[in-house]
Structure 1
Amino acid sequence: MFSSSIAVVGAALPVALALTPLESFYPPNLNDTAYISDSSIGTYGGIYQAPTRNNVNTGSPYGSYDYCTMPHPRTTEYELPEPVKNGSVRATLVYLEYLQRHQRRTPYNILPGGENQPYNCDDVFPYLYAGPQSGAQAPLAVYAQTYMDPTNPFNEGYVNTTCQFPQLTIGGLLDGYQHGQDIWAVYGAKLRLIPSFPDPKKVWFRSTESPLTQQSAGGVLRGIWPHYSGAIPLHQQNSAVDTVNEGYSCNNRGNVLSAIQSTAQWNDHLSVTSTLRSELGSMLGATSGSWQSTFDHFSDNFQGRLCNGYKLPCDFTNTSNCVTTAQAEEIFRAGDWEWNYYWRNNPDVVEYIQLVQGLFIGEILSRFQDVAKGKSSTVYSHVFIHDNDMGPVLGALGINQLRWPAMGSNIAFEIWKTEGRSSSLYARVLYCGQPIETIHGTLDWLPLSSLIAILQPYVPTDIVSLCNS
């Protein structure tokens, strides 16, 4: 009944399951561990393989759940809010808050038993230099080039590579260019919100301390302003107290996570996957707790391979013993289940979101409130973050079901001002280009105050006390 969206080793990329965008984004059985073990589901329409390693990924139809490069607002599919579209309301877009995960990358997690194929990153240059504010000579532009020294005894059993793990790949950089071009086409050329150059009074950008998010920002912003020759500030908080990417220390965060991973539902999802985890652990040398206690590491390794033109892994010492399509699909279904459980379906979800992302959500709301009070000159804010930042925000919005926030996944908070004597501010929230489906309904057109009210419970009143409780 369901067709696969990833390929066995050496096979051609198959066609994705023909589901509507809403179906592929919101699997109705995701709260049930039977979703994991049901092999007939395949990837539930998800695409987990890019056609090539070193080209922009433009092959997936709009609205697909494409893990390698998620959809985003594009002029060919972008629609105005329904009241504006049908003419019942006259309104102007006055503010855009745009959150996005970084683009395609190499894996974080290299297989303990060794990697059976080389990784090549010679076609992307991670630049590394600092420059003076003014009045001094500009530095030489230098970039990192990873190599393997043949005299290093630790090379054996690792991976033949010119990459760091993780690292933005050339495909990810090119995806970023396209992402930025499409943002400009919608919010610059069409809606005339984004200015023609990055005026610091009107635009504001932030990333984590990670090169992944910083380099993605460089690609996306170049796509928005292809001819701009100046530099743009990309704001970051100090990594020790950062409100994204779990930067600040918080003891209770680990306590709540341990409670989440001790529930009957969590243990059930480990039970139904015991055979799979045992098989992969034996094949790939991945038997430690970090590989066996969640599906984060397996998913990350397989995703990083397939999204950059590589094959599923094989036993390092027996190249005929390889991960099958069915095994990879079950891994991806289990990963989706875990993300939905973390941010939508566990009994401590409100407190967990507060501990992990509550301060960041509060920062977003403060910008909304400044717009409402007429105190902000900023019209466009763009924050480059990680999947573990996107998930809590989507959970706080009440997304119906949450699949793993994929590469380049994005949330666009639009604030519109109606015209007339009693002008008001309305909001809508797009997830990967579409109005998000939530427990509060479709967030396509609602008073800004209502959107703030949805998110406000996830902002802690005293994070220090909550972290120490």
Structure 2
Amino acid sequence: MRGPTSGALFGYIGSVMALSPLDTFYPPLNETSYIANTSVGTYGGLYQAGTHGPTGGKPYGSYDYCSMPHPREYQLPDQAAHGKAKLTKLIYLQRHQRRTPYNILPGGEDQAYECDGVRPYLYGGPNSDHGMQPVPVYAQTYEDPNDPFKTGVSVNSTCQYPQITIGGVEDGYQHGKDLRNVYQKMLGLIPERPNQRVWFRSSESPLTQASAGAVLRGIWPDYQGALPLHQMVSSVDTVNAGYSCNAISSTLNEIKSTAQWTEHMKVTEELRSRLALMLGAGTSSWQTTFDHFCDNFQARLCNGYRLPCNISNSSDCVTMEMAEEAFRAGDWEWNYYWRANEYATKYIQAVEGLFIGEIVSDLKAALDGTSSIDYSHIFIHDGDIGPMLGALGINALRWPGMASNIAFEVWEKEGSKFARVLYSGHPVQTIHGSLDWLPLSQLINILSPYVPEDIAALCG
């Protein structure tokens, strides 16, 4: 692999091994030299987990793609010490827990994913316990060896793609337990039983719905009832790219026409060519960004599998060094999409502006005392977490990992409202400073420019 194109990173290399957990969230992503510098490794990031069990990262709080830190080792803000302030509202956004990949290698998968350990339940029932209750059926994936369409790419799996894995379910339960310990037992906000002042939402994806079930069970381990998980109609959903907007694709084309994006493609040309030859991944969808490669490699490593090999040559395999360069390129791309390019504001408005507007409205209701919800929990995707962090002005944006989370906390002190914003357990470090404690009105002002005044005009 080529070395760095400038000396800008050399000051970082010697200290990479001594990074604090918070530091691992903020690598120097504005230079393409970061991508090709093998000395950087993962910049303290973690990319491996077993098939089973929750992950915690070592040390806890580090950037852990397989399971981003839950708010476990919680530190009260100084302003809330000695009971001088009270937490009055929590808006909690999280990506789903870990899963199988979206993107199957075009040349074929040389390992079989095993999903018999998790049951994706699929059934409907009446809204009363007194009516007929359905059998709790679940999906059991299988393959027919005589299927005439079972040609070409080899998958050989008991999983759907994507699908939450058993490790994702188990980590989701731990995620909920951690939320209960902090926001119920320590801070007294989440009630002991669900009530009318809690509210839950997901995208239409089974990934977010399955994550919700696991996380909420961790919060309320003894609750026996059912809970509503609100969802919008998929064609107009304000999360997970639900609505149609021409400005999204046109702005993305502008982003990929910049000199910086072109330089990034040059820096990664050698790696992309090697992967294309090895894995049969030479099509444009695999070669124009690192989304597909990273997704495939991350899903393998996060569920106890090894990196892939050529389907026809078991000695021709992706090395960890190659995967690390792909991950650095993926991080660079996410930072460029939502932070570093000249079209970032317009892109965030088009992709996520309506959802940001919903959060702003909720925060305004908290500010003026009209909010009817104390705790809302919204299960979404990396494509929602990324632009939200971009709107907050995060200093450096790595790819939001599995279960990455943003906690919007509203505090009241001496009659005034304040905000605190945590990203995977840490106060977000931004161009506006650390969002550890600021007037709630200031947080609203930070987010408001990303809410489109006229979404119909913006989207054409």
Shorter-chain TM range is over 0.9
1:461 aligns with 2:459: no
SS of equivalent to 1:174? helix
Percent of aligned pairs sharing the same letter: 64
The number of equivalent residue pairs is 443
Query: Hey, what's the Cα distance between the residues in 2 that align with 1:226 and 1:58?
Result: 20
Query: Hey, what's the Cα distance between the residues in 2 that align with 1:250 and 1:334?
Result: 27
Could you tell me whether the CA contact under 8 Å between 1:208 and 1:214 is conserved in 2?
Answer: yes
Q: CA offsets, 1:197-243, max 9 Å, x none?
A: 110x2100000000000000000000000000000000000000000
Aligned counterpart for 1:432 among listed residues 424, 431, 448: 424
Query: Hey, what's the Cα distance between the residues in 2 that align with 1:453 and 1:328?
Result: 39
Letter aligned with residue 369 of structure 2: G
Q: CA offsets, 1:268-324, max 9 Å, x none?
A: 000011010000000000000000000000000000000000000000000110001
Partner residue of 2:67?
69
Partner residue of 2:413?
418
The answer for unaligned runs of 5 or more in structure 1 is 1-15
Partner residue of 2:58?
60
Partner residue of 2:252?
257
Query: Hey, what's the Cα distance between the residues in 2 that align with 1:183 and 1:167?
Result: 24
SS of equivalent to 1:21? coil
Partner residue of 2:12?
none
SS of equivalent to 2:22? helix
1:188 aligns with 2:184: yes
- What RMSD over aligned residues (CA atoms) do the two structures have, in Å? 1.1
How does 1:4-403 map onto structure 2 within 5 Å?
Answer: 17-27=17-27, 29-50=28-49, 52-74=50-72, 77-85=73-81, 87=82, 90-134=84-128, 136-156=131-151, 157-199=153-195, 201-403=196-398
SS of equivalent to 1:392? helix
Could you tell me whether the CA contact under 8 Å between 2:199 and 2:377 is conserved in 1?
Answer: yes
Query: Hey, what's the Cα distance between the residues in 1 that align with 2:427 and 2:329?
Result: 26
Q: CA offsets, 1:114-143, max 9 Å, x none?
A: 000111000000000001112530111100
Cα offset for 1:21? 2.0
SS of equivalent to 1:98? strand
Cα offset for 1:374? 1.5
SS of equivalent to 1:53? coil
Query: Hey, what's the Cα distance between the residues in 1 that align with 2:184 and 2:378?
Result: 17
Letter aligned with residue 61 of structure 2: G
Letter aligned with residue 290 of structure 1: S
Cα offset for 1:63? 1.8
Query: Hey, what's the Cα distance between the residues in 1 that align with 2:271 and 2:408?
Result: 39
Could you tell me whether the CA contact under 8 Å between 1:82 and 1:444 is conserved in 2?
Answer: no
- Stretch moving more, 331-340 or 369-378: 369-378
Query: Hey, what's the Cα distance between the residues in 1 that align with 2:221 and 2:397?
Result: 34
Could you tell me whether the CA contact under 8 Å between 2:238 and 2:354 is conserved in 1?
Answer: yes
Query: Hey, what's the Cα distance between the residues in 2 that align with 1:17 and 1:310?
Result: 25
Query: Hey, what's the Cα distance between the residues in 1 that align with 2:140 and 2:19?
Result: 42
Letter aligned with residue 328 of structure 1: A
Query: Hey, what's the Cα distance between the residues in 2 that align with 1:416 and 1:373?
Result: 13
Letter aligned with residue 200 of structure 2: F
SS of equivalent to 1:154? coil
Cα offset for 1:377? 2.4
Query: Hey, what's the Cα distance between the residues in 2 that align with 1:306 and 1:296?
Result: 16
Cα offset for 1:19? 1.3
Query: Hey, what's the Cα distance between the residues in 1 that align with 2:236 and 2:154?
Result: 34
Query: Hey, what's the Cα distance between the residues in 1 that align with 2:154 and 2:203?
Result: 28
Query: Hey, what's the Cα distance between the residues in 2 that align with 1:18 and 1:240?
Result: 47
Query: Hey, what's the Cα distance between the residues in 1 that align with 2:57 and 2:348?
Result: 34
SS of equivalent to 1:182? helix
Could you tell me whether the CA contact under 8 Å between 1:17 and 1:46 is conserved in 2?
Answer: no
Moved over 4 A (4+): none
Query: Hey, what's the Cα distance between the residues in 2 that align with 1:58 and 1:403?
Result: 18
Letter aligned with residue 115 of structure 2: C
Could you tell me whether the CA contact under 8 Å between 2:66 and 2:402 is conserved in 1?
Answer: yes
Query: Hey, what's the Cα distance between the residues in 2 that align with 1:268 and 1:305?
Result: 29
Query: Hey, what's the Cα distance between the residues in 1 that align with 2:224 and 2:161?
Result: 31
Could you tell me whether the CA contact under 8 Å between 1:207 and 1:383 is conserved in 2?
Answer: yes
Partner residue of 1:442?
434
Cα offset for 1:59? 4.6
Could you tell me whether the CA contact under 8 Å between 1:415 and 1:428 is conserved in 2?
Answer: yes
Could you tell me whether the CA contact under 8 Å between 1:49 and 1:307 is conserved in 2?
Answer: yes
Cα offset for 1:453? 0.3
Could you tell me whether the CA contact under 8 Å between 1:101 and 1:408 is conserved in 2?
Answer: yes
Query: Hey, what's the Cα distance between the residues in 2 that align with 1:259 and 1:238?
Result: 30
Query: Hey, what's the Cα distance between the residues in 1 that align with 2:201 and 2:17?
Result: 36
Could you tell me whether the CA contact under 8 Å between 2:394 and 2:429 is conserved in 1?
Answer: yes
Letter aligned with residue 26 of structure 1: Y
Letter aligned with residue 166 of structure 1: P
> How high is the TM-score relative to the length of structure 2?
0.95
